[in-house]
Structure 1
Amino acid sequence: MKIRIIYFLLAMLCCGTTIVWAQDDSFQVEDPLRAFEEQPSALEKFKFFFETSNRYEENSAYDWMDRVNADLSEATRNKDTAAIKAFEMMRAQLYYDLGSFQQSVSIANELYTKTTDEESDMLLLLLDLMDQNYGQLQLYDKQVEIRKKKKELGLTDQVYFYDIYANLGLYRKAMEDYIYDKKKTIDNTNLYEQAAYHNEVGKFLLMDKSAASALSYFKQAQGYIVVYNNDMTTVKTESEISQAKLLNGFIEGNIGKAHVLLTQYEEALPFLENGIGILNEQHKVIYRAEIFENTLYLALAHMELGNLRKAKEYLDRPWDISKPKLVLERNGLLAAYYDAMGDYRNQSLYLKRNVRLQDSINDKESTIRRQQMLAIVANEELDNSRQMIDDQRKQLEERKAELKAKDMRTNLVFISLVFTLLGFAGLVYAYLKSIKNQRLIAEQKHIIENSLTEKDSLLKEIHHRVKNNLQMVSSLLSLQTKNTRSKAAIEALEEGKTRVKAMALIHQKLYQNDDLSVIEMQGYIESLINSVQSVFKKGGHNINITIDAEGVELDIDRAIPFGLILNELVSNSFKYAFPEDDANGKIYIHIRKNGDGGFFEYTDNGIGMPDDVSDRENESMGIRLMRRLVNQLQSTLNIDRNADGVRFWFNFK
């Protein structure tokens, strides 16, 4: 049963759930449908409809559809073109809210052909709705076209694709693009934006099977949204309160999922139940997928805790969603339940259902995803490719015309036969030559692959030997330390040893990596700090160290200077910044790449640097060494001293 449940978890991680936020509104009413009916014109009804996000609290979307259809019929009888367009737009939105995405996008496409460029508000609503529908229908190439169209029409300044990358399984690229795009625009003082940002990053990490890191981001998101909701100093509209509650529901569910993936089942239960409760209050069909996904995680948690009857209750809840992956996951859990109960007949029944369903979707899904992934990844080359295809089509048409004219002028069968034979001979020759070329290419490819493999092995061996030699130097320095009585000499030897270890660690990371060209800085810095702590024994163990270098990779020419710089800074903090071994000591290390360059920052909240440090800089080997290393990175070291500690920073290329 545990093996099947593991397969279920992997499937859940590969299936992201799209979050669709409610439309903003400027006012809320107790009975939105009655207020809608009382609006004096179609334009006022249109505005009221899209400005009221709580329209389904009193009446369902089906009630709204009946009212809008009645108004549309009256507008059609009166031949009121503007009113017809407004009510059709409302119908498209209602079909989307009801989960009828194909019907919604069909109406939206027809409306789009009747809307002029001057109707920018209507165009933006239509294109956004079409974008959301194509996302639900997994037609990601269509989403790309819609977003490019919005940019062409000047309705948006920037086109983003990170949500599409995530839906295609490119979770790490989606997260990198999202962080790059959002980090520079997010308002650090806006708690709601901070909560949404951390929740989204956590989702990417969860889908990328990094549950522990994802849980950390979800907890931060929860902290932001709790403070936002409890902030009584800021006046919030009903819409903002509703959106914050909805976001909290998604965050609660995500925290529960992360706990389940970390096998923390008891902790997961209240979060999943709260998330389901909040989403159910929205009365929107669009949130069903998220609700059912949380329900499946609840069933799994209860099953792992031995609460089989409770798990079965969740699995037997009304199931009116047709997403194949969720159906597969539910069937898998039901099969696991019947296996645990010894009911092998029902277990076999659900397993067979999964096999049939999986076989029916595998080929189609893989083909569609492969084509759409190509459309997304090659987005920048799409225009050039289309132009090339058009040119080739024109050339082909011209060639066909020439051949047709030639055939018409050629009446002699003998000449036609000669041309046919010559053409056949040319094809045979080209075919034989192609086979020969393919063989040569295959042989050359084999030789190149063998050479690359041998080269990688040699490079790893070189890095390994360099690391061993540097460790030998470190050992010699340790021996020399034991044979030295001078305190100053011992300190100098220890400093030299930590610098040698910093360089040795670079080479160790390189020969342990599959990619010999770059160093992953987050893991390297953690290993470096552990190495420095081992040298200082007791020093540094009460200090809270935060490292923000996730996803940053540097080549060896830049990694070695960084390692030596960090060695100097961390060693100085351990030795001088916290003389009382203060448990509240903090060190913050931040590295971020931006294109070909980047930014480095190091701070601690220790006692700071002496006031006369600028007079002794020329006598400090550490400062001189760091300045030279920063010069190697084509930058200048900046030092900020204050009463709360010290800060070093520089930009690098």
Structure 2
Amino acid sequence: MGRYVRLIFTTISFVFLYTASAQVTTDDDRSVLKEFQDASAPSGRFNVFFNSINRYNLNSAYDWLDTIKIYLANAEKTNDSLASKMYRIMEAQVYNDLGEYDKSTALAKEMYLSNDSLDFESKKILLEMLDDNYANLQLFDKQIEIRKRKRELGLTDNVAFYDIYSNLGLYTEARNKYIMDVKPTIADNDSYGLAKYHSKVGNYLRLDNSAPTALSELKKAKAYLDVYLNDISTQKSEADIFESDLLKAEIEGNIGKCNVQLGDYEEAIPLLLNSIEVLKTSPRNSDQSEVVDNTLFLADANLKLERFAEAKKNLDAEFDHVTVLQTIKRNSLLAAYYDRIENYRNAAIYYKRNERINDSMSQKEAALIKQQLVTVVGNEEMQNSLRIINEQKQINAQARSEMKAKEEQINLVIISLIFTLLGFAGLVYAYMKSIKNQRLIAEQKHIIENALIEKDSLLKEIHHRVKNNLQMVSSLLSLQTKNTRSKAAIEALEEGKSRVKAMALIHQKLYQNDDLSVIEMQGYIESLINSVQSVYKKGGHNISITIDAEGTELDIDRAIPFGLILNELVSNSFKYAFPENDENGKIYIHLSKNGDQGYFEYSDNGVGLPEDTEERSHSSMGIRLINRLVNQLQSKLNIDKQNEGVRFWFNFS
């Protein structure tokens, strides 16, 4: 009875899924699952499932699993063995896509061993599936057995080992094997094949901690891919374009990772973001693993740039499958994040988690790698090597005969070239004499350009050192704060530290800019707000802050006073404007400059200024400092007391 109830419930769910998918589908973005359901026969559904570009474009893998199980139950009920076989293969593939490799392996192995009537395409699909499952389960000996069967069926010429070496962390060996196995098979005019080749070599170099060399290979890969995409003479199907987009996203993601390793964080972030967005559309597990890696590198870049909110958002992202190594890196980044925001208790928790994981891995890793290495470098690799050597001997023999024939032609060409060169020698001499003056001018221009570059480098170094010195002052103030018990003294030290950070941030922005004469104020104000929030970390996080300074640039003589003025105003808002609750707190900052005229405005909706503000202004260091800074800008501070909050404003030139 219970069985029939479950069957009825499953059927109702199937009808609901069918109806819902029909309602949301449009002609431009048709659900592959709906197309699968509309197919008239099991073979048609089988083709839709395996030939679709992205079967999960609108429906999740769990939706597919439920639907396939319904068709499988109906096929088994009618004793349709051929249909049952097809649906079981599809079920195994969905489990593989979900990362449930044990279930996928059990189903695929059962299908492969128990069905002698499998057609060639079904055998190919099952063997590819088992190959991927065993790789993810790190059962490399079984993976090699599967690859032997693929070779027996003619699906591959050799049993490849480079990806197995890579999974074992032996990236140098993986790169060497990949170059030896794959490079000879790629034609010189195969732009797409060369793009994939250089992408793989570049990634192995990156994993082997050779980021500069890896970056060169990855840029080659991107150049070849651009040639392929821009080649209008080659017809490209929708599937070809989809695969090209995924490859481009993979290359950009790896370039972004190299930039993070080299410290070029600003260049890395847009590449990583774009790569993540595209790779999310891929049904392949390897691409989803790349999404996790790219997200962790993105968090690392944001952390280095002190964009703590963005870094925490990256680290809190949820993924279906995360490897042990990815978990270790994520824990390390979370520990670093909590260290930076001075939450040492949480930082210690994540450090301890990694210690436990490393202890567990160290007990198993040595035995596992030794066992896998024995398998990898066994008889099969020797057979592959002998086969490659024999093939190379035949190629060399043919090449020698061709070279002998070409050698005679080359000799004739060389003789012709000698006479041609003698004729050109006189022309070259005259030409060299005519461009001598131009060369002297070019050399002088080069000297001047080098002097300008050296000047810019020295200016950047000066700003960098000033920033470092100011950070050292800030650190000394922090140390003094920890050794001081007086609340008033601590507050004074924190205020001093905040002011020092405001000035340090100016110099940091300057040496990071290509233009050393001005600072882009929108980004500076955002960084300054984050810095002030980190000082007053118990308050101010629920306040809505609006910054309107887009496109405004100031020189250092104006930027430093503005930074200190803003530091004082924001600090006062965090400390005094919202004494009870900052849930509805709002701060508005406006800065604009049109030609020689500028305007600044700051307001909040807090409790406002006290009645004796003018009397306090003579004793308050903050107000006195703001007035002096405004005078330095050759202006006068205006204060408007409102029903809710306060407004400061002034014009400047």
Per the normalisation by structure 1, the TM-score is 0.54
2:450 aligned partner = none
For 1:169 and 1:146, the matched residues in 2 are separated by 22
Judging changes above 3 Å, is the alpha-carbon distance between structure 1 residues 611 and 281 closer, same or farther for their aligned structure 2 residues?
Answer: same
Which stretch of the first structure deviates more once superposed, 259-268 or 229-238?
Answer: 229-238
For 2:262 and 2:286, the matched residues in 1 are separated by 28
For 2:143 and 2:284, the matched residues in 1 are separated by 23
For 1:112 and 1:152, the matched residues in 2 are separated by 15
The Cα shift of 1:321 comes to 2.6
For 1:610 and 1:264, the matched residues in 2 are separated by 52
Kept in 2: contact 1:172–1:208 (CA 8 A)? yes
Segments of 5+ residues of structure 1 without an aligned counterpart are: 1-27, 384-593, 602-607, 617-653
For 2:252 and 2:156, the matched residues in 1 are separated by 32
Task: Indicate whether 1:174 and 2:174 are aligned.
Answer: yes
Judging changes above 3 Å, is the alpha-carbon distance between structure 1 residues 62 and 612 closer, same or farther for their aligned structure 2 residues?
Answer: closer
For 1:156 and 1:320, the matched residues in 2 are separated by 32
For 1:29 and 1:350, the matched residues in 2 are separated by 43
The Cα shift of 1:206 comes to 1.0
Kept in 1: contact 2:55–2:283 (CA 8 A)? no
Task: Indicate whether 1:190 and 2:170 are aligned.
Answer: no
1:485 aligned partner = none
Judging changes above 3 Å, is the alpha-carbon distance between structure 1 residues 61 and 613 closer, same or farther for their aligned structure 2 residues?
Answer: same
Judging changes above 3 Å, is the alpha-carbon distance between structure 1 residues 125 and 355 closer, same or farther for their aligned structure 2 residues?
Answer: same
Judging changes above 3 Å, is the alpha-carbon distance between structure 1 residues 292 and 597 closer, same or farther for their aligned structure 2 residues?
Answer: farther
Answer 1 or 2: higher relative contact order, Cα 8 Å, separation at least 6: 1
Judging changes above 3 Å, is the alpha-carbon distance between structure 1 residues 141 and 340 closer, same or farther for their aligned structure 2 residues?
Answer: same
Kept in 2: contact 1:96–1:286 (CA 8 A)? no
2:96 aligned partner = 96
For 2:234 and 2:153, the matched residues in 1 are separated by 36
Task: Indicate whether 1:69 and 2:69 are aligned.
Answer: yes
Judging changes above 3 Å, is the alpha-carbon distance between structure 1 residues 229 and 84 closer, same or farther for their aligned structure 2 residues?
Answer: same
1:114 aligned partner = 114
For 1:58 and 1:233, the matched residues in 2 are separated by 33
Kept in 2: contact 1:150–1:156 (CA 8 A)? yes
For 2:102 and 2:254, the matched residues in 1 are separated by 29
Kept in 2: contact 1:212–1:258 (CA 8 A)? yes
2:41 aligned partner = 41
For 2:61 and 2:141, the matched residues in 1 are separated by 29
Q: Which amino acid aligns with 1:233?
A: S
Judging changes above 3 Å, is the alpha-carbon distance between structure 1 residues 329 and 40 closer, same or farther for their aligned structure 2 residues?
Answer: same
Describe the superposition over 1:349-391 as per-residue Cα deviations: whole angstroms up to 9, x where unpaired.
11111111222232223322220111001243899xxxxxxxx
The Cα shift of 1:156 comes to 2.9
For 2:109 and 2:82, the matched residues in 1 are separated by 17
Judging changes above 3 Å, is the alpha-carbon distance between structure 1 residues 296 and 610 closer, same or farther for their aligned structure 2 residues?
Answer: same
1:374 aligned partner = 374
Q: Which amino acid aligns with 2:299?
A: A
Task: Indicate whether 1:149 and 2:149 are aligned.
Answer: yes
Judging changes above 3 Å, is the alpha-carbon distance between structure 1 residues 595 and 97 closer, same or farther for their aligned structure 2 residues?
Answer: farther
For 1:596 and 1:122, the matched residues in 2 are separated by 40
For 1:156 and 1:218, the matched residues in 2 are separated by 27
Judging changes above 3 Å, is the alpha-carbon distance between structure 1 residues 339 and 127 closer, same or farther for their aligned structure 2 residues?
Answer: same
- What are the within-5 Å matches in structure 2 for residues 267-278 of structure 1? 267-278=267-278
Kept in 2: contact 1:196–1:221 (CA 8 A)? yes
Kept in 2: contact 1:134–1:142 (CA 8 A)? yes
1:55 aligned partner = 55
Task: Indicate whether 1:321 and 2:309 are aligned.
Answer: no
Judging changes above 3 Å, is the alpha-carbon distance between structure 1 residues 52 and 59 closer, same or farther for their aligned structure 2 residues?
Answer: same
Which stretch of the first structure deviates more once superposed, 86-95 or 206-215?
Answer: 206-215
For 1:225 and 1:257, the matched residues in 2 are separated by 19
Judging changes above 3 Å, is the alpha-carbon distance between structure 1 residues 159 and 56 closer, same or farther for their aligned structure 2 residues?
Answer: same
Kept in 1: contact 2:97–2:283 (CA 8 A)? no
2:230 aligned partner = 230
The Cα shift of 1:322 comes to 3.7
For 2:48 and 2:302, the matched residues in 1 are separated by 44
Judging changes above 3 Å, is the alpha-carbon distance between structure 1 residues 310 and 615 closer, same or farther for their aligned structure 2 residues?
Answer: closer
For 1:106 and 1:325, the matched residues in 2 are separated by 26
Judging changes above 3 Å, is the alpha-carbon distance between structure 1 residues 597 and 236 closer, same or farther for their aligned structure 2 residues?
Answer: closer
2:161 aligned partner = 161
- What are the within-5 Å matches in structure 2 for residues 481-560 of structure 1? none
Describe the superposition over 1:525-544 as per-residue Cα deviations: whole angstroms up to 9, x where unpaired.
xxxxxxxxxxxxxxxxxxxx
1:127 aligned partner = 127
Judging changes above 3 Å, is the alpha-carbon distance between structure 1 residues 298 and 353 closer, same or farther for their aligned structure 2 residues?
Answer: same
Structure 2 counterpart SS, 1:146: helix
2:290 aligned partner = 290
Per the normalisation by structure 2, the TM-score is 0.54
Task: Indicate whether 1:137 and 2:151 are aligned.
Answer: no
The Cα shift of 1:136 comes to 1.2
- What are the within-5 Å matches in structure 2 for residues 575-594 of structure 1? none
For 1:57 and 1:118, the matched residues in 2 are separated by 29
Q: Which amino acid aligns with 1:120?
A: F
For 2:337 and 2:398, the matched residues in 1 are separated by 54
Q: Which amino acid aligns with 2:90?
A: M
Q: Which amino acid aligns with 1:86?
A: M
Task: Indicate whether 1:280 and 2:280 are aligned.
Answer: yes
Kept in 2: contact 1:115–1:123 (CA 8 A)? no
2:302 aligned partner = 302
Judging changes above 3 Å, is the alpha-carbon distance between structure 1 residues 121 and 274 closer, same or farther for their aligned structure 2 residues?
Answer: same
Judging changes above 3 Å, is the alpha-carbon distance between structure 1 residues 298 and 612 closer, same or farther for their aligned structure 2 residues?
Answer: closer
| Identical-residue share of aligned pairs (%) | 42
Kept in 2: contact 1:141–1:375 (CA 8 A)? yes
The Cα shift of 1:256 comes to 0.3
Task: Indicate whether 1:334 and 2:331 are aligned.
Answer: no
For 2:93 and 2:104, the matched residues in 1 are separated by 7
1:30 aligned partner = 30
2:252 aligned partner = 252
For 1:300 and 1:197, the matched residues in 2 are separated by 28
For 1:382 and 1:372, the matched residues in 2 are separated by 16
The Cα shift of 1:316 comes to 1.6
Structure 2 counterpart SS, 1:142: helix
Which stretch of the first structure deviates more once superposed, 194-203 or 360-369?
Answer: 360-369
Q: Which amino acid aligns with 1:298?
A: L
1:453 aligned partner = none
For 1:351 and 1:151, the matched residues in 2 are separated by 46
For 2:242 and 2:104, the matched residues in 1 are separated by 25
The Cα shift of 1:120 comes to 2.3
For 1:307 and 1:598, the matched residues in 2 are separated by 59
Segments of 5+ residues of structure 2 without an aligned counterpart are: 1-27, 384-394, 407-412, 422-653
Kept in 2: contact 1:117–1:153 (CA 8 A)? no
Kept in 1: contact 2:256–2:271 (CA 8 A)? yes
The Cα shift of 1:87 comes to 0.3
For 1:596 and 1:610, the matched residues in 2 are separated by 28
The Cα shift of 1:308 comes to 2.3
How many equivalent residue pairs? Answer: 374
1:200 aligned partner = 200
2:263 aligned partner = 263
2:240 aligned partner = 240
Kept in 2: contact 1:98–1:286 (CA 8 A)? no
For 1:98 and 1:336, the matched residues in 2 are separated by 31
Kept in 2: contact 1:97–1:286 (CA 8 A)? no
For 2:138 and 2:369, the matched residues in 1 are separated by 9
Describe the superposition over 1:59-80 as per-residue Cα deviations: whole angstroms up to 9, x where unpaired.
1211111111100000110111
Kept in 1: contact 2:99–2:321 (CA 8 A)? no
2:599 aligned partner = none
Judging changes above 3 Å, is the alpha-carbon distance between structure 1 residues 215 and 78 closer, same or farther for their aligned structure 2 residues?
Answer: same
Kept in 1: contact 2:257–2:294 (CA 8 A)? yes
The Cα shift of 1:151 comes to 1.9
For 2:168 and 2:284, the matched residues in 1 are separated by 25
Kept in 2: contact 1:195–1:220 (CA 8 A)? yes
